[in-house]
Amino acid sequence: MKIFAVICTRDKELGTVTSELVHTLSSYGVNIKLLTAQNSIFEAYQKGVDSCSANDEDIIILCHDDLQILSTKPQFIASLVKCAYSETGIVGPAGTTNLGEDAVWWQQGRWQAGFHRGQVKHFIPSETKDSPTIDTTHYGPHGRVVALDGLFLAARKEVWDHIELQKPKYFEGKWDFYDIHYTTKAHLLGYKNFTIPLDMIHHSGGELVGRDSWHKNREAFISHTQLPLRI
């Protein structure tokens, strides 16, 4: 079984974090497909998966370009073993067992009710301190989920092929809501999605506030999906 990683970025040149990510994954034996200067995450992921010389049982990771992997190689490989099971769909570090009618997976009320799973570290730059801080967001114990956050998604190639990664025609935004679309589609196809213990830092707090394309894609997703989705 081989492991591939498709990393796409809107930038033409690689930043320090992306270069370190590529180095780390390569040192772990992961085959890297790096796509720069992209204008659609849907198209980039489809193009990247198609370009992998992967068999159906091989694992393909789709991940953000601003991740720092802290797990050791043995820990990293062991966390991905879940993908090998035929009933497994997509795995990642964080998600929810209950995607409500608002289609916002991290919604606070459901978090407080215990529906969320997984953990992610976030890089928080500081203007007043000499060094940035790392904030650990613990959503809940790892386990099966309906939807996953898109910072890191892994599945067998046959799962990605079954889901199909092209942008739905009803989405306007080229970079938004792909994770909820992909992971809920896997769930509705009968696969079981899971959060897994990956230790990583996400060097972004998100760009959702004020981004019209995210809200438009969310509204389109809601209108085309029977919500809520629960397990």
List the domains of the chain with CATH numbers: 3-230 (3.90.550.10)
pLDDT in tens, 81-138: 999 999 999 999 999 999 999 999 999 999 999 999 999 999 877 665 566 688 899 9
Q: Are 172 and 219 in contact (CB under 8 A)?
A: no
Q: Are 107 and 115 in contact (CB under 8 A)?
A: no
Number of other CB atoms surrounding residue 64 within 10 Å: 21
User: In the predicted model, what is the mean pLDDT of residues 179-203?
Assistant: 97
pLDDT in tens, 130-168: 666 888 999 999 999 999 999 999 999 999 999 999 999
